[in-house]
């Protein structure tokens, strides 16, 4: 009876009936527990947790995974203990609790390594790298991704290998090495053709879009980002499609069509709100605020940023925070508060420098130089911008180099 109920649960989940699936799994869990079958009771409870996770009910999912974890520890099933630890870490990550998620991922990785479960520890290496990347620990993320690539090649898992190459490209790009980032993405390309993994293809195209935009190649960037948007929409990954729309909006802003960026950003904000994704909601609001600022709508940009204050306080995604701080500084300057703008930007620059976040540091230096030039300190501003132009040109960040040049020599 209990096993039959347990088999019905995933079938109902596939039919789009998550509540009924959870009910069947809960009933199976109760029967197994009464019979003293801890292992199967834990498996049933795990299915309840998965159903809750698929409905974005994170508190319930976390509670059920923790219950399953306790049972598996009691029966001594180390593989399932490691899996449950990873699942709890995944929930904390989705909730934006990156620091809290890290030890769960690390414990999961350590157990998989101890029991020599090579497939799962290769996968967990990549998951831990993602977490470190989001939290801004770029140096450690680089090391973990490199270890992940070695592990995935040992087991011949090309899906995992391509994902790790793409994610490592994102990190080294953030550290300012566009040449290495392009090389890593190029290494992933034949694997993508072989595996046909659409999610990894979208991630690759988003990375290519960022790199080509930074290199001032807008047509190339737009082609990659449009491919990302089209593919994400085709496979029904709506949150990723929403962010791809924001990335295209950033290109619209750079090409002088800021008004065009508003609609996709607003759609993305609504999507991220519906999924409690505060990290991406912050970033979408930052892009929207930038679009409004470029149109001279300073008050509207301020209002948009005001909506992020409560979110930013608990946002542990460093890239998101730095992006938000940069546009906040620019909006502050446009509203006449030069001192406040510079204080915000200098604090953000110090954080970016500590983390080795070269891309964000370049953007912040550009904003500071622009403020200095426009606030009557042209000599100081030009010195800053001249130094920035050289640094960015040397590293291939030709878009910022061009902007820095234009600000030194206004037409």
Residues of the chain with pLDDT > 70: what percent? 90
Residue with tokens 């983390």: 355
CA distance 370 to 292: 18
Residues 6+ apart with CB under 8 A from 411: none
In the prediction, which pLDDT does 1 show?
56
Q: Is the pLDDT of residue 293 over 90?
A: yes
Q: Is the pLDDT of residue 280 over 90?
A: no
Per-residue pLDDT, averaged over 35-40, amounts to 76
Q: Is the pLDDT of residue 8 over 70?
A: no
Check if the beta carbon of residue 110 is closer than 8 Å to that of residue 293: no
Q: Is the pLDDT of residue 5 over 80?
A: no
pTM above 0.75, yes or no: yes
What does the DSSP assignment read for 324-366? HHHHHHHHHHHTT-HHHHHHHHHHHHHHHHHHT-HHHHHHHHH
Residue 342 confidence class, pLDDT cut points 50, 70, 90: very high
* Pick from 1-10, 43-52, 162-171, 328-337: least confident: 1-10
Mean pLDDT of the chain: 90
In the prediction, which pLDDT does 208 show?
98
Per-residue pLDDT, averaged over 181-208, amounts to 97
* Pick from 10-19, 154-163, 346-355: least confident: 10-19
CA distance 47 to 24: 9
In the prediction, which pLDDT does 18 show?
63
In the prediction, which pLDDT does 154 show?
94
Rg of the chain taking only CA atoms, in angstroms = 23
In the prediction, which pLDDT does 7 show?
59
Per-residue pLDDT, averaged over 6-20, amounts to 59
């Amino acid at each position: 009876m209990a096993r039959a109920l347990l088999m019905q649960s995933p079938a109902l989940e596939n039919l789009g009936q998550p509540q009924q699936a959870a009910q069947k799994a809960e009933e199976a869990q109760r029967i197994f527990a009464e019979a003293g079958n801890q292992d199967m009771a834990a498996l049933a409870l795990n299915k309840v947790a998965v159903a809750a996770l698929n409905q974005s009910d994170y508190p319930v999912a976390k509670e059920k995974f923790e219950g399953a974890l306790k049972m598996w520890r009691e029966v001594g099933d180390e593989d399932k203990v490691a899996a449950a630890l990873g699942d709890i870490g995944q929930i904390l990550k989705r909730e934006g609790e990156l620091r809290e998620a890290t030890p769960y991922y690390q414990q999961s990785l350590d157990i998989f390594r101890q029991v020599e479960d090579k497939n799962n520890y290769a996968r967990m290496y990549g998951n831990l790298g993602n977490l470190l990347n989001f939290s801004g620990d770029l140096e450690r993320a680089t090391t973990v991704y490199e270890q992940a690539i070695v592990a995935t090649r040992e087991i011949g898992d090309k899906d995992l290998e391509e994902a790790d190459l793409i994610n490592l490209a994102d990190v080294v790009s953030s550290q300012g090495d566009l040449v290495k980032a392009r090389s890593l993405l190029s290494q992933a390309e034949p694997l993508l053709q072989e595996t046909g993994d659409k999610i990894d293809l979208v991630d690759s195209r988003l990375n290519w879009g960022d790199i080509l935009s930074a290199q001032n190649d807008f047509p190339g960037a737009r082609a990659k980002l449009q491919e990302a948007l089209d593919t994400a929409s085709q496979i029904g990954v709506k949150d990723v499609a929403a962010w791809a729309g924001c990335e295209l909006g950033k290109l619209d802003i750079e090409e002088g069509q800021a008004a065009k960026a508003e609609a996709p950003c607003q759609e993305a904000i609504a999507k991220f709100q519906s999924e409690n994704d505060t990290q991406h909601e912050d970033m979408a609001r930052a892009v929207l605020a930038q679009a409004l600022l470029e149109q001279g709508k300073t008050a509207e940009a301020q209002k948009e940023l005001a909506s992020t204050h409560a979110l930013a306080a608990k946002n542990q995604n460093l890239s998101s925070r730095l992006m938000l701080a940069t546009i906040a500084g620019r909006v502050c300057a446009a509203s006449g508060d030069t001192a406040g703008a510079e204080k915000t930007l200098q604090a953000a620059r110090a954080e970016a420098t500590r983390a080795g976040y070269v891309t964000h540091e370049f953007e912040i230096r550009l904003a500071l130089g622009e403020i200095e030039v426009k606030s009557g300190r042209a000599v100081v501003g030009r010195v800053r911008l001249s130094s920035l132009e050289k640094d960015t040109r040397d590293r291939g960040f030709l878009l910022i180099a061009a902007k820095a040049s234009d600000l030194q020599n206004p037409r």
